[in-house]
Amino acid sequence: MYEAKHIAVLGLGIAGVHSVRVLVDLGAIVYAWDDNESARLYAQKYAQKQRISGAFQVVDLQRIDMHGLDFVVVSPGISDSHPVCVRAIQNNIPTVGEIKLRYDLSPDSTFVGITGTNGKSTTTALVAHILQSVGVPCAVGGNFGVPAIALPDLGAGGVYVLEMSSYMLTRLRGMQFSVAGLLNITPDHLAWHGSVDNYIEAKMHIFDRMSDGAVVCTDDPISAKIAHMLHRRGCKVRTVSYTEAAETPCLRGTHNRQNMAVASAICEKLAIDTADIVSACATFEGLKHRQQVVYTDDTVTFVNDSKATNVQSTVMAISCYQDIHWIAGGREKDGEYTALSPFLHRISHAYLIGEGAENIGAFLHKHHIPYTISGCMQQAVSDAYTRVKSTAKVKSTHAVVLLSPACASWDQFNSFNHRGDIFCQCVDNVIRGA
């Protein structure tokens, strides 16, 4: 398939390095590059360790003659404005994602794609959980977990369940999902896409070349419009709403009911029995950092929702609880918190951290919501626990200490996962010290 083809790989993270390995093994001549020197050095050491021969070389892709390239594999997150992508586009060289390689290598398998602004990872994991519960061979990857190219070959009867970010969806050339689900659309990643319209267009690529198998949750107006556009295009669409699913102990709130509705419809498209779907949803334990219950006792429950890196995700979390002691803050995306206004009455006190603390505090002050500038996670957890315990005797409600930052994590942490892990550790510390 790729023998003797000249292929460039831009970006040498996990997906890029695996792409190099697979392409070289299949006989391609590979030119690879990453703007980060340490990534380039890692790729070279990896090649030596794996005994990848002269068919692979690390070379500045801005300096090579692109006319001889068959295509460029571009890592997720690298935009079309990158000089190498610009050169490729100008020279009519296709740019593809590593998911296209997995698709080409597994023609007998079924490919399921899941996208949306929020809920992608939970829905992807839930679909896999349902399939596994009835014995269907499947593998999960894409934007969630392992890059698709690093997944095993499943062969006929196997199902790849892939979380698809808007970045990935811009490079699906020649690929068609058997079943694809759209959860929701709210503005996000606008710096990368340039506009809301471009972001919506990227999300719609998940339905490219499909005539059947589309699942769209129409709870928001943009997604409802997309469903209508697909109908007009001649694609059969199964529309769903959160009202079609009931809460489970680990999947609470409207957004999780939305996740279940989409996951259930996808599995119905894959011919899974409805009773088996319902049973599997009831046993799904959820994912870390997504409304993960860390600790609970008679007076307080600690919830880790570190994955809430934007305001809309935090709205979804806050809508699930009462008597909330809210830990929020970090690197702001747009500094706009108005969407929280209808739910602020659920917040008893806020504990603010990171770069966004002052701005969020000013917003809360206007709405007469008490808050404390805690500064760091350890102090915020300690402040919240102290206040909850001091008021427990006069309050009859069960308090919830909710980490749902509404901000990115990069000011104080390496990732939202790191932030959530630190929260869990801080909770363990205050409980042990109590």
Q: Measured between alpha carbons, how far apart are the two ends of the chain, in Å?
A: 63
Q: Are 272 and 368 in contact (CB under 8 A)?
A: no
pLDDT at position 56, please? 86
pLDDT at position 48, please? 77
Alpha-carbon span 50 to 16, nearest angstrom: 15
pTM of the entire structure? 0.81
Per-residue pLDDT tens, the chain, 434 aa: give them. Answer: 899 999 999 999 989 999 998 999 899 999 999 999 999 998 888 777 766 666 888 999 999 999 889 999 999 878 888 999 999 999 999 999 999 999 999 999 999 999 998 889 999 999 999 999 999 999 999 988 899 999 999 999 999 999 998 889 989 888 999 999 999 987 655 555 567 788 888 889 999 999 999 999 999 999 999 999 999 999 999 999 999 999 998 898 888 999 999 999 999 999 999 999 999 999 998 889 999 999 999 999 999 999 999 998 899 899 999 999 999 999 998 889 999 999 999 999 999 999 999 999 999 999 999 999 999 999 999 999 999 998 876 676 799 999 999 999 999 999 999 999 999 999 999 999 86
Alpha-carbon span 32 to 119, nearest angstrom: 33
Joined together, the tokens standing for residue 223 give: 């997604």
Show the DSSP H helices in 284-395 as ranges: 311-318, 357-366, 377-391
